[in-house]
Amino acid sequence: MAFCRSSLLLRRALAGSRRTAASCSSSSYAFRGQRRYSGGEGTTISAPGYHVNSGSSYMKGSVFWEKDKPITYEDFEMPRPKANEVLIKIKACGACHSDLHVIKGDLNFPLPCILGHEITGEIVEHGPHTDTKFIQRYPIGSKAIGAFIMPCGSCFYCSKGEDDLCEPFFAYNRAKGTLYDGETRLFLRGSRKPVYMFSMGGLAEYCVMPTNGLTPLPDTLPYAESSVLGCAVFTAYGAIAHAAEVKPGNSVAVIGIGGVGSSCLQIAKAFGATQIIAVDVQDAKLETAKTFGATHAINSRKEDAIAKIKELTGGRGVDIAVEALGGPKTFQQCVQSVRGGGKAVMIGLAASGGKGGIGEVDIIQLVRRKIKIIGSYGGRAMTDLPKLVELAEQGVFNLESAVTRRYKFDEAAQAFQDLANRSIVGRGIIEIV
């Protein structure tokens, strides 16, 4: 049986080794041009061609202070990387529903914070005592992409190759807004008030990241569109490859066609799924879904999604259903759309606590029909992110079509407002430079 070109390219990418970065003899990097920053007590500092190692440079960052308060842009001390960390000059950052959950108060997170967790950028500094292999892999001036899950590389789960479950990431970053020494790298200029990091805190001019969360970005791929590989595509890959384990010939339904859901469609197609059903409540998203690989589209406002999926699959249901929204109704749709022995994969986040975060399951159906319900938060940065870069470079994943809206750095609040209004069909990205 012949498979499509994308499946062949996928297998080649999965068999390939990790990409090595080009070597660079320079050990420091100077910024050119002039940038002016407001100083304390009305003073102004001009910084033409400063070095990040000078100890007297600053940056701008967008700060989310608290619910119902606007995002503001503040001056920060230049973040300083520690051992096995790098300082990155950010080029682009995606606008994700996870950030929106924090803004709406659906997810508990320390405040104030810098949001943004899907970035591309340029390496400008290595932390002291950083392992030589990381310095060689990410030389100063090289391009890189960062995953939102930033594995420590040595905990119980990382040592088993399951770095999507990295213990320090969840215990420190997601619970406390810090890196793995228990400290943030973000401090307001002058007052040195700490500001917390949602992942690396990508909605700023610079960020600090652990090197295990990075992979080199080749010159053949653009900064802006490639940022979606760090979360939207990364999350979708984790769901399709690891949780669902999609095989050629599988039938797949994806419920919720946003940035992550549309990525699930593309990756399911790349893995050889032959029947790919997109479910959403917006016709515009469903039309776009067909360009991402959907063979069928269902508007669940206009017809019963579960009944239609079963009609399209001979009354059985799909082999795999993926829920990419995070709601009790779509959770139920996902579970009830799979065939006996099928998998229901949950990747959408719901509000913390209360009924909004609880999905109901028919226990008799679950037991008798051997339904498997699996959660999936993201991919595995140390092995999956390099594969995703290769897939994008080979054209298996269409980055250009995945990005449907662009914003300037000072338009971050508008990006999240549009996301809340569901007016972004695919993924919106914020270009920092």
Q: Write the single-letter amino acid at 350.
A: A
Residues 6+ positions from 283 with CB-CB distance below 8 Å: 299
pLDDT at 56 over 60: no
pLDDT at 36 over 70: no
pLDDT tens track for 145-189:
999 999 999 999 999 999 999 999 999 999 999 999 999 999 999
Token pair listed for 124? 């400008």
Q: Write the single-letter amino acid at 143.
A: K
Give the percent of the chain with pLDDT over 70. 86
pLDDT interval class at 359 (50, 70, 90): confident
Mean pLDDT of 48-60: 57
pTM score of the predicted model: 0.86
Token pair listed for 314? 């001979």
Return the beta strands (E) in 36-156 as ranges. 36-38, 44-46, 58-63, 72-77, 85-95, 113-114, 119-126, 143-146
**pLDDT at site 178:** 98
Rounded Cα gap, residues 266 and 275, in angstroms: 12
Residues 75 and 60: beta-carbon distance below 8 Å: yes
pLDDT tens track for 391-432:
999 998 888 888 989 999 999 999 999 999 988 888 999 999
pLDDT at 257 over 70: yes
